[in-house]
């Protein structure tokens, strides 16, 4: 065949020694691409078997000479075979790769199967409980708080329906939309703007709640049901409410210091609301409800419920109308005299029942933020003061009870009295007075009562003060009551021995002093005061009935022509009582600054049905008890006597002998 012919020469036959080797054209299919490439890149010279080139003649070009005794084709095939094996070793056999992949898949499926068995078999109950907890929500079923009423059943504090409004912020869209039924759904911003005036909150505050990442937030607590219905009409998704009764006080500030108030959790935090909280509160219940994916409550999905037990009502001894009269009178006088505070008390001396316990300034227990926290307590039981001349009644009673003195016994009162390192004076300069014991009270003489106390003695005076309730709580049933200050006789200084008889150096609260005069009005038996109706208080005799009657006659001289409390007189009734004008102790300077003005009395004097106490702290316009406190007593006692239908006894006021000689 011609040399230039393109036909390929037949391949030489295999030698006997090459029967177990693959030639290039016998290679496996997956080896073909790379083998062909290598073959084409390095062509080999071929010649017919058995013929060798002539000596001295070599192939032209770059053709390499085959190794001796080894055909060139076989050497090329061997190289390709070794290269193929190296690639197989590097890449791995396809069968091995398939088997490894199947093992991996089988392992993963085994893991899934094991986890499935664990979830559905071993941990199914626990996981089910966890899922139920995630879907469940516990609602508090608030117990209805008991009502507080006055002695005639008029409500002073009660609970009304209210709602705690909640929402799932994640269900409120960021942009306005529309439900499948065509209901418009507001965006978070639109909802905040519409809700703010309904809830009484700032728009930014509501928006912050609606953009919370939590699934449940309260938008408002104790919202009026009518306002909640307005909120429902806005179409806000998942908006709902739980019942939570709201405490209201229908008479506003009336008796607020006695009633007290409740906190955000519905617990009493002051006054009767606090002291009677266990009775009023009842017991809250609970209900577990299931929440759907859209935040809605699934009805009847759970039967886990504990019913709330409502609280019981509490009836007070207060009379709504007498309380109103006392509060209006003391508020007006505090304003008129520019006093820091004032207290007015009306009490039944035979039972200890308080018909009025008014303080000023007051506060609205339903809106504590409106008046600050200054008036949240009850100064009638918590504020102590030096009683001043109202304390002279105890010194005089001790003289009648434990010495031979009588109401007409003479007491010579000089213009001044030097005892230890102090010189004592009366409130008005005078020469020597010749007074009776009754006259000492009528003129409210400090020097005179000091001279009387010397006859009584320090230890007996201390015991009389204890018997009348000094240094101990009355047990009225109101929180924050102070016991006052009554030092032991051995702790009295030389001058204190002479200030205590006229009410300086000891301290009481207003209710303690009202209780002292209650004992005089009740023929010498002191019945502890109470504000809770139905409480039976056992009385204690502190002086004899005869001493008490003598004291009432002597105290009538205080409101008589020669007394210091003529403004306490009530037309048609006999009135007995005592004024008090005491210096106020100022802890800031450790000195006396300002005055405590008071009057405490009873009517009718010959058969007392009511006792009233009036105290003004720090009045700026006038400070004598007969000038600023006695008029309030007149107004309050006049109203109370008429309201209680107490008829005048018809007896004439006896002549009280003030001067032992003229």
Grouping H, G, I as helix, E, B as strand and the rest as coil, residue 14 is coil
Radius of gyration of the chain (CA): 52
H or E element at residue 129: helix 124-135
Residues forming a β-bridge with 100: none
Quote the Cα angle for 593-600-503, to 5°: 45
**579: nearest Cα among 593, 596, 603, 594:** 596
Nearest C-alpha neighbor of 21 from the set 87, 68, 74: 74
Per annotation, catalytic residue among 84, 275, 389, 597:
389
Q: Is 42 exposed, middle or buried (0-12, 13-18, 19+ CB in 10 A)?
A: exposed
Evaluate the omega torsion of the peptide bond into residue 604 and state whether it is cis, within 30 degrees of 0.
yes
Residue 5 carries which DSSP code? -
Instruction: Classify burial at 48, counting beta carbons within 10 Å of its beta carbon; exposed 0-12, middle 13-18, buried 19 or more.
Output: exposed
- Report the SS3 class of residue 261: coil
- In 3-state terms the chain splits into helix, strand, coil percentages (rounded to 5) of 35, 20, 45
Question: Counting beta carbons within 10 angstroms of the beta carbon of residue 504, is it exposed (0 to 12), middle (13 to 18) or buried (19 or more)?
Answer: buried
Residues facing 289 on adjacent strands: 137
Instruction: Give all strands of the β-sheet with 217-223 in edge-to-edge order.
Output: 217-223, 163-167, 240-243
Backbone φ and ψ of 136, nearest 5°: -95, 150
Across the chain, which distance is largest between two alpha carbons, in Å? Answer: 182
Active site annotation includes 389: yes
SS3 278: helix
Task: Report the distance separating Cα 110 and Cα 510, nearest Å.
Answer: 85
Bridging pattern class, strands 417-419 and 305-306 = unpaired
How many Cα atoms are found within 13 Å in the side-chain-facing hemisphere of 27? Answer: 23
The answer to whether the beta carbons of residues 610 and 603 sit under 8 Å apart is yes
Q: Which residues of 281-306 are buried (b: 16+ CB within 10 A; e: fewer)?
A: bbeeeebbbebeeebeeeeeebeeee
Length of the chain: 662
> In a 10 Å sphere around its CB, with 0-12 CB exposed, 13-18 middle and 19+ buried, how is residue 443 labelled?
buried
Query: Phi/psi at 599 (nearest 5 deg)?
Result: -150, 135
- CA pair distance 578, 393, nearest whole angstrom: 8
Q: Which residues are catalytic?
A: 389
């Amino acid at each position: 065949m011609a040399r230039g012919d393109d036909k390929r020469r037949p391949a030489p036959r295999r030698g006997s020694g090459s029967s177990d080797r693959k030639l290039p054209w016998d290679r496996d299919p997956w080896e073909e691409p790379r083998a062909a490439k290598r073959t084409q890149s390095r062509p080999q010279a071929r010649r017919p078997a058995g013929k060798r080139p002539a000596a001295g003649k070599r192939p032209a070009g770059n053709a390499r000479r085959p190794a001796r005794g080894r055909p060139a084709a076989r050497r090329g095939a061997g190289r390709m075979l070794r290269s193929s094996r190296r690639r197989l070793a590097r890449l791995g056999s396809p069968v091995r790769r398939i088997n490894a992949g199947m093992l991996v898949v089988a392992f993963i499926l085994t893991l899934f199967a094991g986890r499935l068995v664990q979830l559905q078999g071993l941990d199914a109950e626990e996981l089910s409980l966890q899922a139920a907890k995630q879907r469940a929500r516990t609602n508090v079923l608030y117990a209805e708080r008991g009502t507080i009423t006055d002695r005639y059943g008029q409500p002073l504090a009660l609970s009304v329906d209210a709602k705690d409004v909640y929402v799932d912020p994640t269900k409120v869209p960021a942009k306005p939309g529309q439900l499948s039924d065509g209901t418009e759904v507001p965006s978070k911003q639109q909802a905040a703007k519409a809700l703010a005036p309904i809830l009484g909150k700032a728009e930014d505050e509501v928006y912050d709640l609606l953009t919370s990442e939590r699934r449940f937030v309260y938008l408002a607590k104790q919202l009026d049901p009518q306002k909640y219905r307005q909120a429902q009409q806005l179409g806000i998704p998942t908006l709902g409410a739980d019942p939570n009764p709201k405490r209201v006080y229908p008479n506003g500030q009336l008796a607020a210091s006695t009633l007290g108030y409740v906190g955000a959790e519905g617990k009493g935090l002051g006054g009767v609301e606090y002291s009677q909280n266990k009775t009023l509160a009842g017991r809250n219940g609970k209900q577990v409800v299931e929440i759907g994916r859209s935040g809605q409550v699934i009805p009847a999905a759970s039967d886990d419920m504990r019913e709330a037990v409502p609280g019981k009502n509490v009836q007070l001894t207060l009379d709504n109308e007498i309380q109103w009269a006392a509060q209006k009178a003391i508020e007006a006088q505090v304003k008129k005299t520019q006093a820091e505070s004032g207290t007015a008390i009306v009490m039944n001396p035979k039972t200890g029942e308080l018909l009025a316990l008014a303080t000023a300034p007051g506060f609205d227990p339903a809106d504590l933020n409106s008046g600050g926290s200054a008036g949240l307590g009850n100064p009638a039981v918590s504020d102590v003061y030096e009683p001043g001349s109202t304390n002279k009644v105890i010194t005089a009673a001790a003289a009648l009870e434990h010495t031979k003195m009588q109401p007409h016994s003479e007491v010579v009162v000089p213009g001044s009295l030097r005892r230890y390192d102090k010189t004592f004076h009366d409130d008005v300069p005078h020469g020597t007075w010749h007074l009776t014991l009754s006259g000492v009270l009528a003129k409210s003489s400090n020097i005179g009562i000091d001279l009387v106390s010397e006859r009584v003695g320090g230890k007996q005076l201390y015991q009389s003060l204890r018997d009348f309730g000094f240094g101990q709580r009355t047990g009225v049933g109101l929180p924050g009551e102070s016991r006052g200050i009554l030092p032991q006789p051995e702790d009295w200084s030389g001058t204190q021995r002479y200030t205590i008889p006229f009410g300086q150096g000891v301290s009481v609260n207003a209710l303690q002093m009202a209780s002292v005069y209650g004992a005089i009005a009740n023929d010498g038996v002191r019945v502890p005061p109470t504000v809770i109706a139905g409480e039976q208080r056992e009385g204690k005799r502190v002086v004899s009935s005869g001493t008490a009657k003598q004291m009432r006659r002597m105290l009538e001289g205080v409101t008589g022509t020669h007394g210091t409390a003529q403004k306490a007189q009530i037309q048609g009734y006999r009135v007995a009582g005592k004024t008090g004008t005491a210096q106020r102790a100022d802890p800031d300077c450790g000195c006396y600054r300002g005055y405590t003005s008071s009057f405490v009395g009873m009517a009718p004097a010959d058969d007392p049905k009511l006792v009233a106490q009036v105290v003004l702290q720090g009045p700026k316009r006038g400070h004598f008890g007969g000038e600023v406190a006695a008029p309030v007593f007149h107004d309050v006692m006049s109203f109370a006597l008429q309201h209680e239908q107490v008829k005048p006894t018809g007896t004439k006021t006896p002549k009280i002998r003030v001067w032992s000689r003229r």
